[in-house]
Amino acid sequence: MPKPQNLYFERLSEHFGLVIESRGCSVHDLSARFIREAYDTGGAVLFRGFRAQLDDFDVLTREMSHKLFSYQGGVFNIGRFARSEVPGRPSILTATGTVQDFAIPLHGEMYYLQHPPPVLWFYCDKDAETGGATTVACAGQFYDELDEKTQEFLGQQKIKYQRHLDEAEWTRLCQTNDRQRAELFAGSLGNDISWQHDGSMIMEYMTYPLIRDRGRTLYMNSMLPAIFAESSNLEPGSLGNRRLPFVVRSESGKPISETIVAALIKVQNKIEIPLRLAPGDMLVVDNTRVLHGRRSGTGSRRVVYVRFGKMRDLES
Ligand SMILES: [Fe+2]
C-alpha cells in the first residue's frame, strides 16, 4: 500500500463518490482490498493522476473481477451510436458513439436487460478538446429530488423497452438463425417476442424503473438514453436504412409524457456531477446505485474505454 501522504482523498458529494488522487503512485501500488473498500464506501471512485496505461487498466480490472461481461445484448450497435470491442482486448469496449459530440443523459447501464452488469469501469485514453465530461449521480438522490407526481408515476407502473432487431441482429443476439430457438432464448431473458413481415424481431422487456435497496428507493433504469435517441435529430443516413432500434414506453404502450421527461431532465441537471477525465484516469461505478452519462464534447480526440464486470469476493 502507498503511504497516505502519496494519496489525496476527496468526496465527490455528500451523497456518494470519492476522488483518489495520486501524488506519485501508480495503480500497482493500490491493493485490491483498498480499491474494493473505496468502491464499497463511495459507489463511484475516480482514480486521478495515476497515469495508467491501457495495459494497467486491463490487468487491474481483471484482478478485481469475478466475471467480465461482453456487450452481448447491448443496444448501441448501430450507426453513429455504435460501440465496439477493442481489438485484442476482449470485453474492453469503446464508449458509445463512433463520434462523441452528443450528450448521453443519466442512466443505469443495460437496465433494458434482465441482468445488467453490476460494475462499470472507465478508462480515459484521450480527453475531448472541450467538454465531453463523464457524469455521475446518486440514484437514491435522483429519486428523492423528483416531484411527487413523477415519483408516483414511476412507482405505480412498469415500463417497456422495445427493440427492433433485423435478421442479422437477432441471429447474433440469440446465437441461432432458428426462430423457435431465438424465441426460447429471448424469452428466457424475460422478453416478449413478435415477428415482422421482413423477418425482423420486436423484442420487448417490461420492468420497473425504480429499485428498492436497503429500505431506499432508487431511480435506476435506461429510460433517458432511449428517449434521447428517439427524439434527437438524427442526421440523414446515420442509421443507414434502419428504423430506430430502441424505444421506451409506459406500461400501457404510450410514449413517456413530456411532463415526466421534463421532470427527469430537471433533476438530472440539478444533481449530476461532471468528471473531466484526463488521459490515464480511471473511474469505477456501482451500476446498482450510481447513474452515469456524458456531456457533449467537441472534436474527435476523446477516447474512453469501458469494461463491465462483477466484483470478485476478497478473501478475509
Ligand atoms: Fe452507459
pLDDT digits (tens, 9 = 90+) for 137-165: 999 999 999 999 999 999 999 999 998 88
Long-range own/partner contacts, residues 263-266 (CB < 8 A, 24 or more apart): 263/146, 263/147, 263/149, 263/150, 264/105, 264/146, 264/150, 264/223, 264/224, 265/105, 265/224
Span from the CA of 81 to the centroid of ligand 1 (angstroms): 12
Asked if residue 270 has pLDDT above 90, the reply is yes
Do residues 119 and 311 touch, judged by C-beta distance below 8 A?
yes
Task: Give me the pLDDT at residue 100, please.
Answer: 61
Confidence bin at 238 (pLDDT 50/70/90): very low
Residue 13 CA, ligand 1 centroid: distance in Å: 21
User: What is the distance in A from the centroid of ligand 1 to the CA of 292?
Assistant: 6
Ligand 1 centroid, distance to 33 Cα (angstroms): 26
pLDDT of 1: 55
**Distance from Cα 63 to the centre of ligand 1, integer Å:** 22
pLDDT tier for residue 237 given thresholds of 50, 70 and 90:
very low
Q: Using an 8 Å Cβ cutoff, are 226 and 246 in contact? A: yes
Separation of CA 282 and ligand 1 centre (Å): 15
Q: What separation in Å is there between the alpha carbon of 316 and the centre of ligand 1?
A: 32
**pLDDT score for 175:** 80
Q: How far away, in angstroms, is 307 Cα from ligand 1 center?
A: 11
User: Which residue has better confidence, 258 or 81?
Assistant: 258
Average pLDDT over residues 190-201: 91
Q: Is the pLDDT of residue 239 over 60?
A: no
Cα of 175 to ligand 1 centre, how many Å?
24
Given this model, what pLDDT does residue 99 score? 59
**pLDDT score recorded for residue 297:** 78
Show the domains of the chain with their CATH numbers: 4-139+274-311 (3.60.130.10), 142-267 (3.60.130.10)
The structure's pTM equals 0.90
Q: What is the mean pLDDT of the chain?
A: 87
